[in-house]
């Protein structure tokens, strides 16, 4: 064996200077004390951690980063954007404006709370950091109009909602953040199921590490992400990693722009770096998918981050993650000067264009009256091709995972399909809490694919003939719709606050009230936007745009 290289240590993810703009939350609960050897120590009370966490979870439920909002506006201003791209971007900007009022959260899936902290060696706490942070999560979710999504496993098969959105995922590392021993720095995230479910790990080999194969691989895998996680995306790709789990975690951080200041070239120190050239090429690749911002166009992604990590010679993990249109994260820090949180945009209205919706959209909008009998609704939809934009008004039944499972059990037991699923279109969704004085809490669509297994059974029994949700669906749904005369309509993923304020006029529970947000609801909607995605003739908009077409490699 050759002689060993000289010892050298470089952090695996060396980041540059912190350029974040912060705002002061409080200077209470923080002090500086003298220690042995003339050292100075920062003391942090649990109350400071709780207050910071509660404020952070509030802000990321209602506000976005200015850079993200500017990217949405740039879609509207881009002449190459499709009408659907611009329509989605405008709806998301309007949603951000409503959410910034602090009442309706931007998305009904207010997510799993994820907190990562780096505590410097001269920071002293009482050791209950995770508990204090969890208390802040509890305060935010129980006091605000957020949704409880965490399920406690009582047995292997039985679960129950915890009623507080706890537990949170809290990870604390002993590390001097940015080289400061008297600092405590954080990344706060709220990760909804839609984007979390689009985290992927592939165990590849050295054979992937050439330009042509890499681009072919990425085209195939990125198309599979689809639209269920509410694009346009902030896409992150990590190639390599000391372990599979480290690759996945790095992809999550990169999707949150947490690793933007990484070096842009590698070295024998074996640290991670960003490949800016590959980022640009992958972004252009996604521009040509045709998927666009959910219903056709260029803006499948806002931007791309590609991080290259060292790897074991026998392993080549590849991790992919996205941050969705609810781009919910913020960094924070506690220093001797106080408790600081990233300043998010509280006035998103400044990004709204001075144009009308009609100027942004040249396509025909078909108005559909949901008060009519189901056969008449289907006959109206049958007149139009996939990608047709609709405006829905009238009653919808709302049902999602648990309700579908319960209804399937009833059908298996020989009971009839509930009349409400025969008479009405079904909306896959689950609301956040309803604020006082509002007809509805934030109430956007959930991922359609989770209900795919039920469609043929339900349609054969006369129900679910018109379905409304977000994202692409499987071939079995297309076949069932063709066989039974059904339709799948795509709703814009992301603008849950705007839908609640502008489109949903009444909400009532029909069945299973004990399931909370998973109950069966009946809602009245007005001018609810949707698109025909799967029709009764076997056409599926997403079937074409998910097929790889790349024939050349990386330039």
Q: Do 302 and 286 meet the contact criterion of CB atoms below 8 Å apart?
A: no
Angle (deg, nearest 10), helices 401-412 and 452-460: 40
Task: Summarize pLDDT for 42-87 with one digit per residue, the tens.
Answer: 999 999 999 999 999 999 999 999 999 999 999 999 999 999 899 9
Percent of the chain with pLDDT over 70: 96
Predicted pLDDT at 546: 62
Distance CA 218, CA 393 (A): 40
Question: Is 364-534 in CATH node 3.20.130.10?
Answer: yes
pLDDT band at 228 (very low <50, low <70, confident <90, very high): confident
pLDDT tops 90 at residue 549: no
CA distances from 92 to 98, 489, 495 (A): 10, 19, 6
Segment 482-504 shows an average pLDDT of: 92
- Distance in angstroms (rounded) separating the CA atoms of residues 371 and 18: 55
- Name the nearest CA neighbour of 261 among 522, 14, 542: 14
**Range of lowest pLDDT (43-47, 134-138, 289-293, 304-308):** 289-293
With tokens 């999602």, the residue in question is 400
Cα–Cα nearest to 165, from 187, 193, 199: 193
Tens-digit pLDDT profile for residues 412-462: 999 999 999 999 999 999 888 999 989 999 988 888 999 999 999 999 999
- Give residue limits of the domains in the chain: 14-191+326-348, 193-325, 364-534
What are the pLDDT digits (tens) for 362-411? 457 999 999 999 999 999 999 999 989 999 999 999 999 999 999 999 99
- How far apart CA 465 and CA 354 sit, in angstroms, is 39
Least confident range from 241-245, 518-522, 550-554: namely 550-554
Asked whether 477 and 498 are in contact (CB, 8 A), the reply is no
pLDDT score of 428 = 95
Where do the H-state alpha helices sit in 338-474? 357-360, 374-381, 401-412, 419-423, 452-460
Distance of CA 8 to the CA centre of its chain: 39
Say yes or no to pLDDT of 521 above 60: yes
- In the chain, the percentage of residues whose pLDDT exceeds 90 is 86
- Written as six digits, the tokens of 314 are 């026998």
* 311: β partners: 241
Q: Does 1 score more than 60 pLDDT?
A: no
pLDDT tens profile 96-119: 999 999 999 999 999 999 999 999
Distance CA 230, CA 233 (A): 7
- Per-residue model confidence (pLDDT) at position 137: 98
Residue 485 in this model has a pLDDT that exceeds 80: yes
**Does residue 355 have a pLDDT over 60?**
no
Least reliable range by pLDDT among 89-98, 122-131, 456-465: 89-98
Q: Quote the mean pLDDT of the chain.
A: 93
Task: Kindly tell me if the per-residue pLDDT of 359 is higher than 90.
Answer: no
Strand (E) or helix (H) holding 520: strand 520-534
What dihedral do alpha carbons 420, 421, 424, 430 form, nearest 10°? Answer: 100
From the number of C-beta atoms within 10 Å of its C-beta (0-12, 13-18, 19+), residue 406 rates as middle
Q: What's the mean pLDDT in 182-211?
A: 96
Section 193-203 average pLDDT: 94
Average pLDDT, integer, range 162-191: 96
Residue 3's pLDDT is 82
Could you tell me the CA-to-CA distances from 387 to 221, 330, 534 in Å, in that order? 24, 35, 9
pLDDT of residue 517: 83
Using DSSP, state whether 9 is helix, strand or coil. Answer: coil
């Amino acid at each position: 064996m050759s002689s060993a290289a000289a010892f050298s240590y470089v952090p695996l993810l060396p980041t540059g200077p912190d350029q974040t703009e912060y705002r002061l939350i409080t200077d209470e609960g923080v002090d500086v004390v003298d220690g042995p050897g003339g050292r100075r120590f920062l003391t942090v009370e649990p109350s400071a951690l709780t207050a910071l966490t509660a404020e952070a979870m509030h802000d990321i439920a209602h506000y976005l980063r200015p850079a993200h909002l500017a990217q949405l506006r740039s879609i509207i201003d881009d002449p190459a954007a499709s009408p659907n791209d611009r329509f989605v971007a405008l709806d998301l900007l309007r949603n951000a404006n409503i959410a910034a009022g602090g009442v309706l959260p931007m998305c009904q899936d207010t997510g799993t709370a994820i907190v990562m902290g780096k505590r410097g060696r001269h920071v002293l706490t009482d050791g209950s950091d995770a508990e204090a942070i969890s208390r802040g999560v509890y305060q935010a979710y129980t006091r605000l109009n957020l949704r409880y999504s965490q399920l406690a496993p009582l047995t292997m098969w039985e679960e129950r909602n915890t009623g507080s959105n706890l537990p949170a995922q809290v990870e604390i590392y002993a590390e001097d953040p940015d080289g400061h021993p008297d600092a405590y720095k954080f990344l706060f995230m709220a990760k909804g199921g839609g984007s979390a479910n689009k985290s992927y790990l592939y165990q590849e080999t050295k054979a992937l590490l050439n330009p042509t194969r890499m681009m072919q691989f990425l085209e195939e895998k990125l198309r599979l992400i689809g639209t269920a996680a509410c694009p346009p995306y902030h896409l992150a790709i990590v190639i390599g990693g000391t372990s599979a789990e480290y690759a996945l975690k790095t992809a999550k951080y990169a999707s949150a722009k947490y690793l933007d200041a990484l070096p842009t070239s590698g070295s024998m120190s074996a640290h991670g770096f960003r490949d800016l050239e590959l980022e640009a090429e992958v972004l252009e690749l996604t521009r040509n998918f045709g998927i666009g911002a959910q219903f056709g166009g260029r803006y499948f992604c806002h931007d791309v981050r590609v991080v290259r990590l060292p790897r074991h010679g026998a392993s080549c993990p590849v991790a992919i993650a996205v941050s969705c249109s609810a781009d919910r994260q913020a960094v924070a820090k506690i220093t001797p000067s106080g408790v600081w949180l990233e300043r998010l945009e509280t006035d998103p209205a400044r990004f709204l264009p001075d144009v009308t919706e009609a100027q942004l959209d040249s396509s025909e909008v078909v108005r559909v009256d949901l008060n009519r009998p189901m056969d008449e609704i289907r006959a109206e939809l049958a007149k139009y091709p996939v990608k047709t934009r609709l405006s829905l008004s009238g009653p919808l039944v709302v049902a999602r995972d648990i309700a579908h499972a319960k209804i399937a059990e009833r059908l298996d037991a020989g009971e009839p399909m509930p009349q409400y699923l025969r008479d009405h279109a079904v909306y896959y969704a689950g609301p956040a809490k309803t604020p006082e004085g509002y007809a509805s809490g934030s109430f956007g669509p959930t991922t359609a694919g989770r209900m795919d297994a039920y469609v043929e059974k339900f349609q054969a029994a006369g129900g679910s003939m018109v379905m409304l949700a977000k994202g692409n669906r499987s071939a079995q749904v297309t076949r069932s719709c063709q066989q039974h005369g059904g339709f799948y309509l795509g709703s814009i993923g992301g603008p849950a606050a705007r839908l609640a304020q502008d489109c949903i006029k009444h909400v009532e529970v029909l069945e299973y009230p004990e399931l909370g947000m998973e109950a069966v609801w009946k809602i009245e909607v007005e001018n609810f936007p949707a698109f025909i995605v799967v029709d009764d003739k076997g056409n599926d908009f997403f079937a074409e745009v998910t097929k790889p077409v790349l024939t050349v490699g990386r330039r």
